[in-house]
A and B are shown apart, each in its own frame.
Chain A
Amino acid sequence: MSENPHAFLALFLGVALAFPLILLTVAWLWVRFFQRARPGKIKNATYECGLEASGDSWIQFKAHYYLYAILFLIFDVEVLFLLPFAVAFTGLSSGALIAMLVFILLLVEGLVWAWHRGHLEWK
C-alpha cells in the first residue's frame, strides 16, 4: 500500500473528536429547543447525602503524621534494596558491598535519629 501506515491514527483521532462533539451538540440542541435547564437553590446546593451542608470545607488538619510516613519510607526503601542485595550477595565485589553497607548505614542513621528524638513514642 502506498498510503501512510499511520493514516488510521488520523481516522481514530477524527472519530475520537467527532463522537463526543456530536453528543454534546445534540445535548445542547435538546436543552436549547425542548428542555430548558431549571436550576434551583436546593438543586444547586452542595450534595451532602441529603443533609444540609454545614460548616466550612477549609478545615485545619494536623500534619503530625508526616514523621511516620518518613519512618515508613526508611524501611520501604531498605526492603526494596535489601532483597536484590541478598540475592546477589555471593557474587558482589567488595566495592559494591561497601557501597551497600554505607547505604544501609545512612538509613539506620535516620532511624536512630528519629528514635533519639522520641518520635517512635506513640503520643
Chain B
Amino acid sequence: MSGSASTPSPTPFPAAGNISDEDRENLRRNGILLTSLEELYNWGRSNSIWPLQFGLACCAIEMIAAATARFDIARFGAEIFRPSPRQADLMIVSGTVTKKMAPLVVRLWNQMPEPKYCIAMGACAISGGPFKQGYNVLKGIDRFIPVDIYIPGCPPRPEALLHGLTQLQAKIRGERIAGPDMARHLRPENPGEFPIPDYGARDLEPPSNPALFQPPSLPRKA
C-alpha cells in the first residue's frame, strides 16, 4: 500500500497522505470516498469561481458570448458575474488596457478579497497586442497585476476562455493549504495590495511594478 506513495501524482488531484491514487480509485469503485480538507476546499472554490463583471474591449464581447446559452460558462460554475469586486474571485482582463484605465483596473484588483485570480484574455491584455506601439496602451496587465492564466487570441473564442477557465480550475485544485509550497493567498508575507500607478506626464508612474515585471534585457554583442 505504501509502494507508490512517494511517486509524484500525474493528476491535478494529488493523493492525500500515504494513500496512492490507485488505491483511492479502488476504494472509490467500492463506494468509499476519501478526501482531505485541502481537496474539499479546492474542489469547492474551483467550481464556484465568480468573475468580476467588467469588460474593456472586444474580448469582452467574447466573454459575454461565453456566458450565454450557446457556450454556457455556467457548466463550470463561473456564471455569476459579480458587479462588485468585494464578491468576485476572478478578474478577467478582457481587452485593451489603456493607460488611462490601468489605475482603475489595479484598484479593482486590490479591492477584491483573497483568494483571487487573474486571467489576461486576448493579445491586448497580455502584451498590448496590435496596439503595442501605441502611446496610450499598457503593454500587458502583468506589469501591475499577477496574472495566473494567459489566453492568446485576437480575440480568443469563447471556447478558448472556457479552456482558460478549466486551466485555472486545475491550478486551484493543485494549490496547497499548508507546507512549503503553500498557495499565494495563504502566505502572510505576500502583498495583499499592489501599488496603483499615477498618471505621469508621458507615461504611468511607475510604468510597471518592478516586483512583478522586469523588462527583458537584450544582451548587446560587442
Contact = CB atoms under 8 A, between A and B. Distances in A.
A50 B108 contact: yes
Contacts of A52: 107
A41 B104 contact: no
A47 B84 contact: yes
Given A42-B196, A43-B110, A50-B103, 11 more contacts: A34-B177, A35-B114, A35-B115, A35-B185, A40-B192, A42-B111, A42-B193, A43-B193, A47-B85, A47-B111, A50-B104
15 contacts: A34-B177, A34-B186, A35-B114, A35-B185, A35-B186, A38-B188, A38-B192, A42-B193, A42-B196, A43-B113, A43-B192, A43-B193, A45-B107, A50-B104, A52-B107
B86 interface: yes
Contact of B107 (A34, A36, A38, A50): A50
8 closest residue pairs by CB, A with B: A50-B104, A38-B192, A42-B110, A40-B193, A50-B108, A50-B107, A42-B193, A40-B192
- Most chain A beta-carbon neighbours within 10 Å: one of B103, B111, B185, B192: B111
A83 interface: no
B121 to A, nearest CB: 18
A41 B191 CA distance: 13
B105 interface: yes
A51 interface: yes
Nearest to A42: B110
A84 B25 CA distance: 72
A88 interface: no
Contacts of A41: 193
A45 B104 contact: no
A105 to B, nearest CB: 50
Nearest to B37: A34
